[in-house]
Amino acid sequence: MNIAYQKRRMRIGMLTLLLAALFLIAIARLIILVAFDGPRLTSMAASEHSGEVQLAAVRGPIIDRNGEPLALSVETSSVYARPHELIASSTPDERAHLAAALGITPAELDRRLHHAAPFVWLARHLPLEQAQQAEAVGLDGVGDLTEYKRFYPESNLAASVVGKAGLDGQGLSGVELAYDRLIRGEPVKLRVYHDALGHPILDSPLSLKNSEPGARVELTIDGGIQSLAESRLAEEVAESGARAGSAIVLDPWSGEVLAMANVNAHGDSANDRLHNAAIQDAFEPGSTMKGLLASIALQDGVVDINRRIWCEDGRFHFGRFTIHDDSPHGWLALPDIIEVSSNIGAAKIALSLGTDRYYQGLRAFSIGERTGIDLPGEAFGLLRKESTWRQIDLANHGFGQGIAITPIQLAVAYAAIANGGMIVRPYVVKAIYSPDGAPILVHTPQMMRRALTPAIAHQMNLLLRNVVNGAEGTARRAKVDGFIVAGKTGTAQMVNPATGAYFQNRLVASFVGFLPADDPRLVILVVLYDVGHGHFGGLVAAPVFSAIASGAVRELGIAAPRPAGYESASIIPIDVLKHAESMVARDAVAAEIADDAAVPAGSNSSTLPDFAGLSLREALALAHQRALNLDVKGSGWVVAQDPPPGAPAGPDTVKLTLADDPGAATPSHPSSKSSAKRVRHARRGTR
């Protein structure tokens, strides 16, 4: 009896342990499923029973500085299908009618329907009438949704700047990509649910919240100047046989890009919106580099305008290399070297300057680094470390060989010569506004660094005028009626990528200049890529500059200055905000500023003036008058200076802080407030 009882208890105990073990195993498996495999299984279930499609919001418009639209969104209709439901409820003939309405073949329709997804697009961005025809076929499982398609009302005007938006409303290039987060608005997501047999659980997928439209983008681009630059550049590309061309129109004081044109000889309109040669392609600048070389050499004290250099009668033997000039020259001073564009003179100046000083000078001009323009894909160009330069490299770099720069880098460098020595950050977006008109972003001028003193910039301004106006100048075709033009031509051989040697008959021709030279308002660069032998910058690029400049001054209402000898004219303008004022009124303001603000009470010419309340242009004019070096931060009007007014004037740099509110100035001198008031009064009197 006891033995039987013990055996029964043992069997019950073993069964209990087995059941407990199975229970623990089940609990462990459940924990594993929930804690470890849960997210994966949930995702699998969701993917099998639902689908999600993101519908783009209305992209915000892109307009030029005058309010003309360059990119808009238009309403279209996109037809979708629930494949299982459509196939189950229709015959092949009915689906053939649907395919005809959509403008596709029955085979293509079947290919799209045989898809595991619960939701497929049959056609995107159709005209509303065509979508209605497809829906009128009356098949179950077919519907349409309203979508928005990007439309460019001015065709390819400023295409490389504006860029392109994709089928799903995403930015792909240009401003469309750079500011996509603001332009695209707030999209909505469409979810479609179905059961295990593929039947929809909801009758319609259209229970959506309204999308939020994107922001409005205002560009610095002037549509009129842009159109002129593109048309004139296209004409010259065709006439010269160039492969492509680029042109930039830049405000040297603010950094605003008024036009950025790129023309391809093959007319590849799709690529026009995806590639911007003006910021993404680098080229050897040729003789346009001589303007920067001369600026650096003058700044460093290596040369002056009177020192004469022997130019070897056109052939300079340098070791086993020979440097040539287009025509033989003997002794030339710096003004003559710039005017006739002597390679030998430039090479000897570069050798006198030395590797380290020339390299640092080029870096100060932003050569070899990005300018910071607000467009995607900007290239660095090519400026090798100075430690790798041989002496022949230094000589070649003096006249622009062995260095590669982008068009925007060259335009910004010459803008520094035009504005008194400051490197400005270029930009193409002036402001961005929310759909209700509230400002989201407003760009203001940004000074990056000083490349030249105002005195050296003024001296270079005078030298560059000889290139256009001198008897032997290489850019006489760059003249603009009624205006003094300063600039420099460039003609560089192209490198054969297969051999590393230069082509003898394939050139890059360019001209970069600014006007009016005595009050620079526009910097204009023209580059023609891959032209034949004999197509020099002065022959093919300079006339394009002249045509663009002539139209731009008319478009902006820039009046021709009073006749005066350009040797004695001032290059420093008075106020960046006054674009249409008369020259007589401007001279009156200049006189008042010079008399009223140049020498504060109790000071003399050996003490620092009071800059408080002055605009950037006025501060530069005053610094130029007193031969002072400035270090400028910010934009707007001067609100602080170090050292303070009345301190002894010396070789040290005066640091100025600018702000948009001139009333924010903290007076460091009793006359500070009154000086600011006098300047603002002068502005009001000349509007």
Residue with tokens 């929809």, as numbered in its chain: 200
For residue 226, the model assigns a pLDDT of 97
Mean pLDDT of 478-490: 96
Pairing of strands 429-433, 486-495: unpaired
Residues 309 and 377 in one domain: yes
pLDDT classification of 291: cutoffs 50, 70, 90: very high
Q: 42 lies in a domain?
A: no
| Per-residue confidence (pLDDT) for residue 588, from 0 to 100 | 36
The rounded distance, in Å, linking the Cα atoms of 142 and 48 is 20
Q: Identify the helix (H) or strand (E) that includes residue 70.
A: strand 69-81
Whether pTM exceeds 0.85: no
Domain containing 24: what range?
A: 2-36
Check if the beta carbon of residue 675 is closer than 8 Å to that of residue 612. yes
Q: What separation in angstroms does the CA of 467 have from each of 41, 211, 296, 463?
A: 75, 57, 18, 8
Residue 20's pLDDT band (cuts 50, 70, 90)? confident
Same domain, 9 and 85: no
Which of 589, 574, 583 has the alpha carbon at shortest distance from 678?
A: 589
* Number of CB atoms found within 10 A of residue 315's CB: 12
Task: Order the strands of the 637-642 sheet from edge to edge.
Answer: 630-633, 654-659, 637-642
| Distance separating alpha carbons of residues 293 and 357, to the nearest angstrom | 11
Instruction: Check residue 210 and give its pLDDT.
Output: 61
Residues 206, 338: one domain? no
3-state secondary structure of 52: strand
3-state secondary structure of 499: coil
Q: What are the backbone angles phi and psi of residue 194, rounded to the nearest 5°?
A: -150, 160
Q: pLDDT tier at 579 (50, 70, 90 boundaries)?
A: very low
pLDDT, tens only, 559-576: 887 654 444 444 444 333
Residues 176 and 239 in one domain: no
In 3-state terms, what secondary structure has residue 520? coil
Q: CATH number for the domain including 309?
A: 3.40.710.10
Span 147-157, average pLDDT? 87
Determine the pLDDT at residue 74.
Answer: 82
The total of structural domains in the chain comes to 4
Which among 162, 186, 219 is the end of a domain?
Answer: 219
pLDDT(186) > 60: yes
Residues designated catalytic:
287
DSSP string of 257-269, one letter each residue:
EEEEEEEETT--H
pLDDT for the residue 103? 83
Name the burial class of residue 45, with classes exposed (0-12), middle (13-18) and buried (19+) by CB atoms within 10 angstroms of its CB: exposed
DSSP state letter for 641: E
From 219, 247, 263, give the residue that closes a domain.
219
What is the C-alpha separation between 483 and 556, in angstroms, rounded? 14
| 275 within domain boundaries | yes
pLDDT of residue 420: 93
Average pLDDT, the chain: 82
Residues 78 and 212 in one domain: yes
Residue 401 banded pLDDT, cuts 50, 70, 90: very high
Question: Which residue do the tokens 């700044």 mark?
Answer: 299
**Percent of the residues in the chain that have a pLDDT greater than 90, as a whole number:** 51
Residue 610 in 3-state DSSP?
coil
Does 563 sit behind a cis peptide bond, omega within 30 degrees of 0 on the bond before it? no
Contact 259, 249 (CB under 8 A): yes
Look at residue 563 in the predicted model and tell me its pLDDT.
Answer: 56
How far apart are the C-alpha atoms of 253 and 383, rounded to whole Å? 26
Residue 239 lies in a domain: yes
- 515 lies in the same domain as 588: no
Which CATH number does the domain housing residue 90 bear?
3.90.1310.10
Tell me how far apart the alpha carbons of residues 255 and 413 are, in angstroms, rounded to a whole number: 11
Per-residue confidence (pLDDT) for residue 145, from 0 to 100: 73
**Predicted local distance difference test score (pLDDT) of residue 110:** 82
Show Cβ contacts of residue 97 under 8 Å, excluding neighbours closer than 6 positions: 137
- 403 C-beta neighbours (distance < 10 Å), count: 25
Structural domain contains residue 563: no
Residue 668 has pLDDT above 60, yes or no: no
User: Residue 322 belongs to what H/E stretch?
Assistant: strand 321-324
Nearest to 179 by CA among 427, 390, 397, 367: 427
pLDDT 10s digits, 197-225: 555 554 444 444 566 889 999 999 999 99
In this prediction, residue 62 has a pLDDT band, given cuts at 50, 70 and 90, of very high
Q: Average pLDDT in the 459-483 region?
A: 94
CATH number reported for the structural domain that contains residue 587 in this entry: 3.30.10.20
- Based on the domain organization, do 186 and 297 belong to the same domain? no
Q: Return the DSSP state at 387.
A: G
Instruction: Enter the DSSP assignment of 635.
Output: S
Other beta carbons within 10 Å of 380:
14
pLDDT top residue among 574 and 413 = 413
Residue 44 lies in a domain: no
Residues 410 and 460 in one domain: yes
Domain co-membership, 71 together with 137: yes
Among 53, 184, 79, CA closest to 139? 79
- 547 phi, psi to nearest 5 deg: -65, -45
> Last residue of a domain, which of 180, 196, 219?
219
Query: Residues 30, 96: contact at Cβ < 8 Å?
Result: no
Domain assignment present for residue 10? The answer is yes
* Residue 575, pLDDT score: 39
Query: Beta strands 522-532 and 321-324: pairing type?
Result: unpaired
Instruction: Output the CA torsion sign for 647, 648, 652, 656.
Output: positive
Residue whose tokens read 């002597």: 342
Question: For the ranges 248-257, 351-360, 523-532, 610-619, which has the lowest average pLDDT?
Answer: 610-619
In a domain, 567, yes or no: no
**pLDDT reported for residue 95:** 83
Both tokens assigned to 431: 């402001």
Residue 501 lies in a domain: yes
- Averaging pLDDT over each range in 6-10, 78-82, 226-230, which range is the top one? 226-230
Report which DSSP code applies to 404.
B
Residue 616, pLDDT above cutoff 80: no
- Distance, CA of 407 to CA of 239 (rounded, Å): 21
Instruction: Tell me if residue 148 falls in helix, strand or coil.
Output: strand
Distance (Å, whole) CA 523 – CA 457: 14
Read off the pLDDT band of 82 (50, 70, 90): confident
Cβ contact 516:484 at 8 Å: yes
Q: What is the dihedral of CA 388, 394, 396, 402, to 10 degrees?
A: 30
Residue 468 contacts residue 486 (beta carbons within 8 Å)? yes
Q: Are residues 390 and 503 in the same domain?
A: yes
The C-alpha atoms of residue 129 and residue 123 are separated, in whole angstroms, by 13
29 and 113, same structural domain? no
Whether 247 and 299 map to the same domain: the answer is yes
Residue 107 pLDDT: 85
How much is the average pLDDT of 11-26? 86
